[in-house]
């Protein structure tokens, strides 16, 4: 699946946005063509997502944006993420970090862990919002609790370093929780978690 990374000014975000919409289409679209010709709502949205993705790949950003706006109105969080990406990169619209954040917040409010992770990155780096490591940690926690290994790792680093102050500044409670999240991230296959876990355990 393709991964979109944000352009100038947004290099610290790493959206897997259109990929998410396409993943829905790949899983669900066959159900739209069953012998009865019935289409459930998920399948319909999957086909629409795929069409929007095709338009995006052809550089027809306006068509993609209109399709994603329609899907977003039906609480399709992948569409919301894709809209965030368009506004972040300024594709077919004027680049607008605040608008990108608003779409991420809408998706996050619906429980999308990808949006929660990206909001964590935004607050950590001050992209589209004021830099706020504690708010970043809160968003990472939301995604981490849903099993996102990147969020688990980032949350662990936040805790272990007392929100960026340094390894020697964190409390025993923070290091204990960080260790637990690092173990989860490592179990999920995060490549950096084992080494950081070893470093943290050596500090204890």
CATH of the domain at 63: 1.25.40
pLDDT in the model for residue 3? 32
Distance, in Å, from the CA atom of 114 to the CA atom of 105, rounded to the nearest integer, reads 11
Look at residue 125 and tell me if it is in a domain.
no
Contacts of 10 (CB under 8 A, 6+ apart): 88, 89, 97, 100, 127
Same domain, 184 and 93: no
Tell me which of 90, 115, 140 is where a domain ends. 115
The first and second tokens of residue 202, run together, are: 């050596």
**Is residue 122, in this structure, part of any structural domain at all?**
no
Query: Same structural domain for residues 141 and 97?
Result: no
Domain count, the chain: 2
Write out residues in the chain with pLDDT < 50, as ranges.
Answer: 1-14, 16-33, 35-38
In a shared domain, residues 187 and 137 = yes
The sign of the CA dihedral 123, 190, 162, 164 is negative
Query: What pLDDT is attached to residue 39?
Result: 62
What's the angle, vertex CA 89, arms to CA 19 and CA 114, rounded to 5? 40
Helix or strand or coil: residue 20? helix
Asked whether residue 14 falls in the same domain as residue 80, the answer is yes
Are both 101 and 22 inside the same structural domain?
yes
SS3 call for 86: helix
Residue 120 lies in a domain: no
Which residues span the domain enclosing 144? 130-204
Which tokens in the block code for residue 187?
């179990």
> Is the residue at 78 inside a domain?
yes
87 plus 160 within the same structural domain: no
Long-range Cβ contact pairs of 52-60 (< 8 A, separation 24 or more): 52/21, 52/79, 52/82, 53/18, 53/21, 53/22, 53/25, 56/18, 56/82
- For residue 162, being part of any structural domain is answered with yes
Residues 108 and 136 in one domain: no
177 Cβ neighbours under 8 A, 6+ residues apart: 156, 159
> Are both 96 and 4 inside the same structural domain?
yes
Q: Specify whether 89 is located in the same domain as 3.
A: yes
The pTM for the full model equals 0.82
**Helix ranges restricted to H, the chain:** 17-28, 41-57, 61-72, 77-89, 97-109, 113-125, 133-144, 149-160, 172-187, 193-203
CA 151, CA 140: separation in Å to the nearest integer?
5
Q: How many CB atoms lie within 10 A of CB 134?
A: 10
Same domain? 96 vs 31? yes
How far apart, in whole angstroms, are the C-alpha atoms of residue 94 and residue 75? 24
199 and 154 in one domain? yes
Q: Is 123 among the domain residues?
A: no
């Amino acid at each position: 699946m393709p991964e979109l990374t944000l352009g100038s000014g947004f290099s610290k975000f790493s959206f897997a946005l259109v990929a998410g919409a396409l993943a829905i289409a790949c899983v669900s679209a066959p159900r739209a063509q069953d012998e009865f010709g019935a289409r459930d709502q998920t399948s319909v949205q999957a086909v629409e997502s795929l069409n929007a993705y095709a338009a995006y790949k052809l550089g027809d950003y306006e068509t993609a944006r209109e399709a994603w706006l329609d899907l977003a109105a039906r609480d399709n969080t992948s569409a919301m993420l894709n809209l965030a990406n368009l506004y972040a990169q300024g594709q077919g619209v004027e680049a607008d970090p605040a608008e990108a954040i608003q779409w991420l917040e809408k998706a996050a409010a619906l429980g999308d862990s990808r949006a929660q992770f990206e909001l964590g990155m935004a607050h950590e780096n001050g992209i589209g919002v004021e830099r706020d490591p504690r708010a970043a940690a809160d968003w990472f926690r939301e995604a981490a609790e849903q099993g996102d290994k990147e969020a688990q790792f980032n949350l662990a680093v936040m805790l272990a370093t007392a929100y960026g102050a340094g390894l020697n500044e964190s409390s025993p409670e923070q290091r204990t929780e960080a260790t637990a999240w690092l173990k989860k991230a490592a179990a999920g296959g995060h490549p950096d978690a084992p080494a950081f876990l070893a470093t943290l355990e050596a500090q204890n």
